[in-house]
Structure 1
Amino acid sequence: MAMLPRNETFPGSQSEEAAFTVKDLLAIPLLKKARLLAGAKGIQRDITRVNIMEAPDLNSWVRPGEFLMTTGYPFKDNPELLRQLVPELVKRGVSGLGIKTISYFEKVPPEVVAEAEKQGLPLLELSGDTLFSDVVSIVMERVLAQETSQLSDLQNRIQSMSRLLLDGSGLYAFLDAMEDMLDNPVSVVRENDKPWLSKGLRSAEPTEVWPLLQSLTYRQVGKGSNNGFMLLQNVYRTYVSHIPTKRMKHACLVLVERNRDIQPIDVLSVERLSSLAGLELANVEAVREVEGKYLDQFLQDWLSGKIVSEADWKLRADVCGCSIPEGTPMCAILVGGRSAEPPEKLREIARRLRSERLRSVDGLLAAPIGDDLALVLPFGQIPLAGTDRDEAVAQLIDRLLAELRGLLGDRELKLFAGRVIERSDGLQGSWAQAKRARQVADVCGLPGEIVSYDRLGVYSLLYLIPSGEEREQFLARYSAPLQLADRKGGGRLVETLEMFFRCNGNIKLTSERLYAHYNTIVYRLEKVQSILGVSLDDPEDRLQLHLALKLGQITPGTSG
């Protein structure tokens, strides 16, 4: 586990009286016959309580900092259960485990000793004449004296952090002060949101802390409903305290054991300060709600072309906290493939995408536009022109699609992208191209999970053909007669011809797709040729028919 430089001590962060540790416990005369069997590396762990448990589910009752003593009665018939209990006790922050022998175990099972050594849990073999009540009495005399000092320390910590929040310093200053106080980094992790990190994690090298940052999500640290210790990525030991929230997303305050071992006073501090963090989160939520409304309106006006001057764009971008620097290449993307969502759901998805930490892209903006979900995708350092630029853009959109599918839980998600633009006033055109790509792809059955405007080819030209005499004459020659025949006789000629082209002229595959007999498809195609006076064996005739079908489905555009 990488270590960060030790920070300066925060006022009131250290108790004047030394803590009572497992090593101190071994030194008391009452336990002179006790033997340390395993876990010597954890011998400096603080003891805050002594717990005596003889129930088989003792794991549910222990608390961080406790030294647990047992005769082993619940495990006398199955020592394997005792071995399985050891890692769970470590996760819950138990200081050590003492097992009284002779009563039910002549000696501690070797597999239990090996597991304790592996987990670093101090394991003591207590002699048969050890009285648990005497151990409790001696330890608690020492612990209570220390707790008096710790309570004063804890009160000073809470007062200092309360003053910090009252000064209006904000959540990041709150977390930075907690890191100075606890000498370990902290984080606020919230459901469907980016984590707030203290300075030790914000300033660390990304390669050093990336596994930790990946696991600092509510899906990882918010699984359980109770506060307690847990391991992240099997490396980082953390203490997680749920933040009390009302009418807000669930959140946790996480202390990461990175610079030094987490002490019991640190655990108490995190539990008490989680309430203060909840108050600051409520303030952040109120500010974000107001900013989100302005940002939604800003993006809607930007994409629809209502922001006409560069000066207006800069002003509104600054007010809304738009994170895209001026002059950054970008494109508009329409998110398709989702079922129709109500406006409130679209707004929630947009806010989630703006706040979620994405690995593929930084600074992604999202907003609902009517019934559609629009994205503004910025590009960092990409080639200026040529095939390298096109490849870099395509790769980034591919990564974005994969991440969005996992984030939104929709495997049918598709993206329709406009062209990359260099100036902010060009985004309206890129958004219009993204919508055109979606319409043409739907009408013409274009394959692929990502459809960019530049991929439309001839279909884009068909879309631009305006209504006029030539267009109507072309449709009257190759499309209208088939539609008229279908209305009169119900022969499904247009549907059959469309599927015939989609199947690349394969009659057998066409019959399978339409669930019709092979001879039925042959009859329909012969009828098409008879009505129109064409031959499907003639490439020119097939081209005319294919274009007529597509042109008839596309809404006429404008020549401008």
Structure 2
Amino acid sequence: MDAVDLPSPAGYALTIREVLTLPSLAGSTLIAGAGGLEQTVQRVNVIEVPDILPWVKPNELLITTGFPLRHADSGEPFDPLALVELVEGLARCGAAALGVKEGRYLGDLPAAMLEASDRLEIPLFLIPHDIGFDEVMSEVFTHLVDRQAFALDVADRMHRALTKIVLEGGDLPQIADEVAALFDAAVLICTPDGRVNASAGTTANLQVLEGLPLFDPSGRLRTERLRHGLQPAPGTEAGQIAVAPVHAGGTEHGVIVAFVGDGGLGSVAVQALERAATVVALAVTKQLAVSAVESRFHGDFLRDVLNGNAGTVAQITEHCAQLEWDVNRAMVVVVAELDPDPARSTAGPGIRPPGAGRMPQQRLTAAWKQVVRRRDRYAPVVGFSHEVVVLMPVGDDDARIVVDDLIAAVTGDRGGGRHSFCTGVSRVIGSAAELPQAYDQARKAVTVGRRMRGNGSVAHFDSLGVHRLLSLVDDSAELRSFATEILGSLAGDADEAIDLRQTMQALLDTNCNVAETARVLHFHYNTLRYRIGKLESIVGPFTTDPILRLDVALALRVVEMEGL
């Protein structure tokens, strides 16, 4: 692929330092505020009224004869305090600088005004009395237009260069490289929830960027802490970040981020990144199209494997090897299923664009693929219509630790507007022949885990206990009826019912040992005896009747389950 020469971004911003070198202002004298000479000028205006502050815009160069700053009635100049307040007001408005004509109306500017200008880094300069403001404004406007034209030229040429990269088969890494080279910056191309798909740039900028408080422990960029456009980089003195969203077909596909540690970005970077984002959207759309075809092929095969219709173990292993999957080792089946979203389920037709309902599922699949590949590139990860299935090797590691690490990486700190999901984990298996059974275990764990603990639950099949049997009862009304029949008023949601159920569960956990239960609950022995009497008046003699005790234990488990 041929390299493309792009113009250097240096010098596109017009600063106060450069304004003071223009022919119309060459004789001007800077008298205060030298710390703000690198302020960017985007517009110029003349002060014609005393109360100018409501009309001042950010990055505006203001020039005045000084006459509007006099009292309208007395003709006397403002006192020093009023001029200090003027400088402070300009600083609050984000003005670039203030130029005053020498001598004629204000005379010598007070020391307090100069001190405020230095303190707030608002450049204050004197303009020779023979300079016409029309010359100044014309010259500044000419330079602004030239530089804006340059910025547009950079963005347009970069857009054409990046489009060429994509059309010639390039992908996100090549796009990131091109943008990073243009701005001498670190560049990240991320998913909407901040998962980095490509990065490029100098080692120094990348190292500084990675050290900023913008990444969670899973490595996800906290996109929810960034806004579109140019902004200071948190944790740095002069660093800048430019952010542009990646949109295509009414869908958000992520962001492209540029970072420099020395404040070398500017408005041109934002314009260029917006053009680059269009090309990134093209590349992402292409990736999604290719991925959809591959995923369908992989999904069809894995579905056959999980249903037990893919042939012998040898045939399955050989086919998986062709797909660069390794299933000839100890592993668990992990099933992740998005939790129901009440907002989406209650939205009327036509509220969302076509296909928008599939995006959360696609993003969940992409997140699992990215996280799993970092740990083991040969582990199968496939997204079905309503779930993600992972065949995760565990080796000598504890399966719980492996799966918990994966889930923590996928969820990150739950930023970026991601959807919660439930996860089910099978027992450890050692052969592809056991995959159908393990898949059923993982799916059952998802169902039971959600009913027991609600959205966002993680359930391991081996830890389900009797809930595995209860989950086989499809009739939720029958389960509720059973619990109410056994527990009576204790099956309700009143505070007293919940408190008494906890006491009953503690008794069952200690095999109805009253002394041990009193110690566990920190009750007096007689207090517990009173409670036992109250419980048995409601449910019967469960402490002495083993059959009733079993019914009570099952009923308490039913009440634990959510969604019934």
Call closer, same or farther: CA 1:248–1:417 in 2, change over 3 Å.
same
Structure 2 counterpart of 1:254, one-letter code: V
Partner residue of 2:210 out of 208, 211, 221 = 208
Partner residue of 2:92 out of 64, 76, 84 = 84
Tell me which residue corresponds to 1:349: 360
Is the aligned partner of 1:399 residue 2:398? Answer: no
Length, aligned pairs only: 475
Is the aligned partner of 1:505 residue 2:504? Answer: yes
Tell me which residue corresponds to 1:496: 488
Tell me which residue corresponds to 2:443: 435
Partner residue of 1:239 out of 239, 242, 245 = 242
Tell me which residue corresponds to 1:367: 383
Call closer, same or farther: CA 1:161–1:398 in 2, change over 3 Å.
closer
Tell whether the 8 Å contact from 1:346 to 1:373 is kept in structure 2 after alignment: no
Query: 1:20 and 1:200 mapped to 2: Cα distance?
Result: 26
Tell me which residue corresponds to 1:4: none
Call closer, same or farther: CA 1:376–1:78 in 2, change over 3 Å.
farther
Tell whether the 8 Å contact from 2:224 to 2:416 is kept in structure 1 after alignment: no
Tell whether the 8 Å contact from 1:229 to 1:239 is kept in structure 2 after alignment: yes
Deviation string, structure 1 residues 210-258 (Cα, Å, up to 9, x no partner): 645568555344x45xxx4212435341233455633332654433224
Is the aligned partner of 1:376 residue 2:379? Answer: no
Give the CA deviation at 1:132.
3.8
Structure 2 counterpart of 1:181, one-letter code: L
Deviation string, structure 1 residues 298-356 (Cα, Å, up to 9, x no partner): 5544544444446546646866x97x897584431354864688797874332111234
Is the aligned partner of 1:51 residue 2:44? Answer: yes
Query: 1:147 and 1:36 mapped to 2: Cα distance?
Result: 30
Partner residue of 1:34 out of 26, 29, 37 = 29
Once the two structures are overlaid, the 10-residue window that deviates more, 336-345 or 236-245, is 336-345
Structure 1 counterpart of 2:360, one-letter code: I
TM-score of the superposition, structure 1-length normalised?
Answer: 0.62
Give the CA deviation at 1:420.
3.7
Tell whether the 8 Å contact from 1:443 to 1:550 is kept in structure 2 after alignment: no
Tell whether the 8 Å contact from 2:542 to 2:548 is kept in structure 1 after alignment: yes
Tell me which residue corresponds to 1:333: 335
Call closer, same or farther: CA 1:507–1:179 in 2, change over 3 Å.
closer
Deviation string, structure 1 residues 432-491 (Cα, Å, up to 9, x no partner): 22333356667889999433222234666x6899xxxxxxxxxxxxxxxxx9xx99xx99
Cα RMSD of the aligned pairs, angstroms, is 5.6
Tell whether the 8 Å contact from 1:79 to 1:109 is kept in structure 2 after alignment: no
Query: 1:442 and 1:245 mapped to 2: Cα distance?
Result: 34
Give the CA deviation at 1:384.
1.1
Once the two structures are overlaid, the 10-residue window that deviates more, 329-338 or 542-551, is 542-551
Once the two structures are overlaid, the 10-residue window that deviates more, 417-426 or 337-346, is 337-346
Give the CA deviation at 1:131.
4.6
Tell whether the 8 Å contact from 1:497 to 1:525 is kept in structure 2 after alignment: no
Query: 2:291 and 2:146 mapped to 1: Cα distance?
Result: 46
Query: 1:207 and 1:328 mapped to 2: Cα distance?
Result: 38
Secondary structure of the 2:232 match is strand
Secondary structure of the 2:195 match is coil
Tell whether the 8 Å contact from 1:415 to 1:451 is kept in structure 2 after alignment: yes
Tell me which residue corresponds to 1:473: none
Query: 2:536 and 2:224 mapped to 1: Cα distance?
Result: 56
Identity %: 16
Q: Which runs of 5+ in 1 are unaligned?
A: 1-8, 90-95, 117-121, 466-482, 509-518, 530-534, 554-560
Tell whether the 8 Å contact from 1:333 to 1:434 is kept in structure 2 after alignment: yes
Deviation string, structure 1 residues 161-215 (Cα, Å, up to 9, x no partner): 3432331222321221222233223334453463443422899559835645568
Query: 1:335 and 1:243 mapped to 2: Cα distance?
Result: 27
Is the aligned partner of 1:537 residue 2:531? Answer: no
Query: 2:281 and 2:266 mapped to 1: Cα distance?
Result: 23
Query: 1:179 and 1:79 mapped to 2: Cα distance?
Result: 39
Structure 1 counterpart of 2:243, one-letter code: V
Query: 2:269 and 2:557 mapped to 1: Cα distance?
Result: 70
Q: How does 1:514-553 map to 2 (within 5 A)?
A: 525=536, 529=540, 535-538=541-544, 540-546=546-552
Deviation string, structure 1 residues 263-304 (Cα, Å, up to 9, x no partner): 666555445444444433443343344445445545544544
Is the aligned partner of 1:197 residue 2:198? Answer: yes
Secondary structure of the 2:162 match is helix
Call closer, same or farther: CA 1:433–1:36 in 2, change over 3 Å.
farther
Deviation string, structure 1 residues 477-516 (Cα, Å, up to 9, x no partner): xxxxxx9xx99xx9953243985995443899xxxxxxxx
Query: 2:451 and 2:284 mapped to 1: Cα distance?
Result: 47
Structure 2 counterpart of 1:69, one-letter code: L
Query: 2:132 and 2:332 mapped to 1: Cα distance?
Result: 74
Tell whether the 8 Å contact from 2:214 to 2:222 is kept in structure 1 after alignment: no
Q: How does 1:67-466 map to 2 (within 5 A)?
A: 68-69=61-62, 80-86=88-94, 96-100=96-100, 108=113, 110=115, 113-116=118-121, 123-127=123-127, 129=129, 131-139=132-140, 157-192=158-193, 194-200=195-201, 204=206, 208-209=210-211, 211-212=213-214, 216=221, 218-221=223-226, 223=227, 228-235=229-236, 236-242=239-245, 245-249=248-252, 251-258=254-261, 261-262=264-265, 266=269, 269-294=272-297, 296-297=299-300, 300-308=303-311, 309=313, 312=316, 315=319, 327=329, 329-335=331-337, 338=340, 347-356=358-367, 365=381, 367-368=383-384, 373-376=387-390, 378=392, 384=396, 389=398, 392-393=401-402, 395-396=404-405, 399=408, 403=412, 414-421=422-429, 426-438=434-446, 449-457=457-465
Query: 1:292 and 1:201 mapped to 2: Cα distance?
Result: 35
Call closer, same or farther: CA 1:525–1:418 in 2, change over 3 Å.
same
Query: 2:452 and 2:383 mapped to 1: Cα distance?
Result: 27
Deviation string, structure 1 residues 91-115 (Cα, Å, up to 9, x no partner): xxxxx43354876985647556434
Query: 2:419 and 2:155 mapped to 1: Cα distance?
Result: 47
TM-score of the superposition, structure 2-length normalised?
Answer: 0.62
Tell whether the 8 Å contact from 2:190 to 2:255 is kept in structure 1 after alignment: yes
Tell me which residue corresponds to 2:518: none
Call closer, same or farther: CA 1:344–1:51 in 2, change over 3 Å.
closer
Structure 2 counterpart of 1:187, one-letter code: L
Structure 1 counterpart of 2:200, one-letter code: K
Tell whether the 8 Å contact from 1:46 to 1:263 is kept in structure 2 after alignment: no
Secondary structure of the 1:175 match is helix
Tell whether the 8 Å contact from 2:339 to 2:456 is kept in structure 1 after alignment: no
Tell whether the 8 Å contact from 1:444 to 1:550 is kept in structure 2 after alignment: no
Call closer, same or farther: CA 1:316–1:152 in 2, change over 3 Å.
same
Give the CA deviation at 1:133.
2.9
Q: Which runs of 5+ in 2 are unaligned?
A: 70-81, 346-353, 375-379, 473-477, 492-496, 508-529, 560-564
Structure 2 counterpart of 1:83, one-letter code: A
Call closer, same or farther: CA 1:403–1:359 in 2, change over 3 Å.
farther
Give the CA deviation at 1:417.
2.5
Secondary structure of the 2:504 match is coil
Tell whether the 8 Å contact from 1:36 to 1:124 is kept in structure 2 after alignment: yes
Structure 1 counterpart of 2:543, one-letter code: D
Tell whether the 8 Å contact from 1:361 to 1:396 is kept in structure 2 after alignment: no
Query: 1:157 and 1:97 mapped to 2: Cα distance?
Result: 33
